[in-house]
Structure 1
Amino acid sequence: MASVGITPLSAIDWGAPWLEPWRVLGEPLAQRVTATAEPVHAVLQSAVGARLPVGFAPQSELPAGTAYEQHIWDTGRVPTRDNLHDFFNGLVWSQFPQTKRRLNQLQAQALATQGVRAARGPLRDALTVFDENGALLSAPAPLWHALRARDWQRLFVTLRPLWAQAHLILFGHALLEKLVYPRKPMVAHVLQAQNAINKIATWEGWLCAAMEADAWADKPFAPLPVLGVPGWWPANADPGFYADAQVFRPLRATQADARR
């Protein structure tokens, strides 16, 4: 992990609020990689691999010309590089193993039907978006109404006290990787979860059961600038934080018409 151009796992701030669900497992594994220089796949496999439906393998196991998702489905082996992206992917596999396996199954089925194309197609695109950049949010209805309307002032300022009743967990491993160096424009693609869910085991069972190809092809997600979440970034205590229209963009007229 000390190679030139690769961000080391030691750069992760495990005190960041979005990493709270991942810290108990992730922090000691990151420390082990940093201290021993063991490959990421070997650390993940020895720590969590035995209880998962897949194992972690070196990236070199992926044959040239073979689709990544198809290889995982066919072999039960996840090619893993020594970087932040694949480390976080391993953590998500460890906490959401059945959901990740379901994602992989749907990807493999689409590949079997459509083959590898330059464009993924609606279903594979939606699955990839959620896998890389997704999040789950359980929240009171007024927050969801404001989020879907992209009424940012109402969502984050007027209704701010309601966030104490919300539960948000980041699922996308690319999003977790990007947030090692947080920037205001970072956006999650959020799926509405059942109310009152606050344990990963419960999220896992619900999400895996809810993942149906017909519904997911339409991308049932809402964009959420994650550093706007109350308590997740000190600067958002100032209501003026949300006045940045380059980040907190209003719903376009065509989008509003489509919602009617």
Structure 2
Amino acid sequence: MADWRGLGEPVAQKIAEGGLQPQSLNEVGLAPVRFVPQADLPEGQAYEDFIFATAQVPTREGLHDFFNALCWMHFPQAKKRLNQLQAREIARAGVGQVRGAVRDAATVFDENALLIQPSEALWAALTEHRWMDAFVGLRSEWAHTRLWTFGHAALEKAVQPYKSITVHLWRVPGDVPHDQIDTWLAEDLTADKLSGKPFSPLPILGVPGWWSANEEPCFYQDTGVFRPRRAKMPTGKPYANPEIIPSP
């Protein structure tokens, strides 16, 4: 998170001194969009459609949209790709009460994704919910497993952390260089892949080194958080496992 902190702290300081959040974010100048007050979003127009049409992001004061803006700075190509997919779905199907599989999955990714570049053994343990294997038996693997934070809602939750915070893992192949992650991700985010629901849950405070309590193996025995894998998923939900369906 050091790179996020390097960008975010100066902006946060300007806001703390009385600067408006959209203006303070625009002064960084690293995003392919401009951040504008939420009031600039016309009534009745979808948020994603407005961004696509104007290259402007309606931005409220507060951490949620602050982290969203930082993500635009860190992953400009991937964020543009997500917006293109969402706008395309809106053009095809309208806004409606139901987003549809692709738009819903794109929103889930945007809000809650964590990118991971694991070994085959670690990925298998995580996707099979073999939590003791993933976090205890393979604990040494985490020291050389790359993670990239993406979801801005997940970041907001982590400001006041609690044990059950769960993110949606998206696997990065081992041959993707760190400095090419944004380019790769923009190409990897396709409608077909998103509709295939390739997410897997990760209770984020289980990551070694991210929470002191997880140094004890019993931390992972809480089945209310580290849930066993179920055989089937509910119909029509864009998640690989029902354990990561958000609470109402």
Q: TM-score, normalised by structure 1?
A: 0.87
Alignment match of 1:87 (pick from 66, 73, 78): 66
Instruction: Name the structure 1 match of 2:201.
Output: 223
Quote the Cα distance in structure 2 between the aligned partners of 1:219 and 1:94: 26
Contact 1:140 1:165 in 2 (8 A): no
Task: Quote how far apart the aligned CAs of 1:254 are.
Answer: 2.7
Task: Quote how far apart the aligned CAs of 1:158 are.
Answer: 0.5
Alignment of 1:171-190 (within 5 A): 171-190=150-169
Contact 1:167 1:198 in 2 (8 A): no
Matched, 1:43 2:43: no
Task: Quote how far apart the aligned CAs of 1:218 are.
Answer: 1.7
Quote the Cα distance in structure 2 between the aligned partners of 1:95 and 1:72: 17
Matched, 1:156 2:126: no
Matched, 1:62 2:50: no
Matched, 1:123 2:102: yes
Structure 1 SS opposite 2:159: coil
Quote the Cα distance in structure 2 between the aligned partners of 1:249 and 1:76: 41
Task: Quote how far apart the aligned CAs of 1:221 are.
Answer: 1.0
Matched, 1:249 2:227: yes
Quote the Cα distance in structure 2 between the aligned partners of 1:74 and 1:28: 30
Quote the Cα distance in structure 1 between the aligned partners of 2:21 and 2:176: 31
Quote the Cα distance in structure 2 between the aligned partners of 1:32 and 1:172: 23
Instruction: Name the structure 1 match of 2:212.
Output: 234
Alignment match of 2:87 (pick from 108, 115, 124): 108
Alignment match of 1:32 (pick from 14, 18, 21): 14
Structure 2 SS opposite 1:137: strand
One-letter amino acid of the structure 2 residue matched with residue 232 of structure 1? W
Task: Quote how far apart the aligned CAs of 1:253 are.
Answer: 2.8
Task: Quote how far apart the aligned CAs of 1:215 are.
Answer: 1.2
- Tell me the alpha carbon deviations over residues 58-107 of structure 1, each in whole angstroms, 9 at most, x when there is no partner: 11100111100000001110000111000000000001111101100000
Structure 2 SS opposite 1:230: coil
Matched residues, number: 235
Contact 2:176 2:184 in 1 (8 A): no
One-letter amino acid of the structure 2 residue matched with residue 83 of structure 1? G
Kindly tell me: are residues 229 and 196 of structure 1, through their superposed partners in 2, closer, same or farther at Cα, counting changes over 3 Å?
farther
Question: Which consecutive unaligned segments of at least 5 residues does structure 1 have?
Answer: 1-18
Quote the Cα distance in structure 2 between the aligned partners of 1:65 and 1:196: 44
**Please, what is the CA RMSD of the aligned residues?**
1.5
Identity rate, percent? 48
Q: TM-score, normalised by structure 2?
A: 0.91
Task: Quote how far apart the aligned CAs of 1:194 are.
Answer: 1.9
Question: Which consecutive unaligned segments of at least 5 residues does structure 2 have?
Answer: 234-239, 242-248
Contact 2:109 2:151 in 1 (8 A): yes
Structure 1 SS opposite 2:219: helix
One-letter amino acid of the structure 2 residue matched with residue 239 of structure 1? P
Quote the Cα distance in structure 2 between the aligned partners of 1:90 and 1:28: 14
Quote the Cα distance in structure 2 between the aligned partners of 1:20 and 1:54: 23
Instruction: Name the structure 2 match of 1:211.
Output: 189
One-letter amino acid of the structure 2 residue matched with residue 121 of structure 1? G
The runs of 4+ residues in structure 1 deviating greater than 2 Å are 196-199
One-letter amino acid of the structure 2 residue matched with residue 216 of structure 1? L
One-letter amino acid of the structure 1 residue matched with residue 96 of structure 2? R
Quote the Cα distance in structure 2 between the aligned partners of 1:198 and 1:26: 24
One-letter amino acid of the structure 1 residue matched with residue 151 of structure 2? G
Task: Quote how far apart the aligned CAs of 1:119 are.
Answer: 1.1
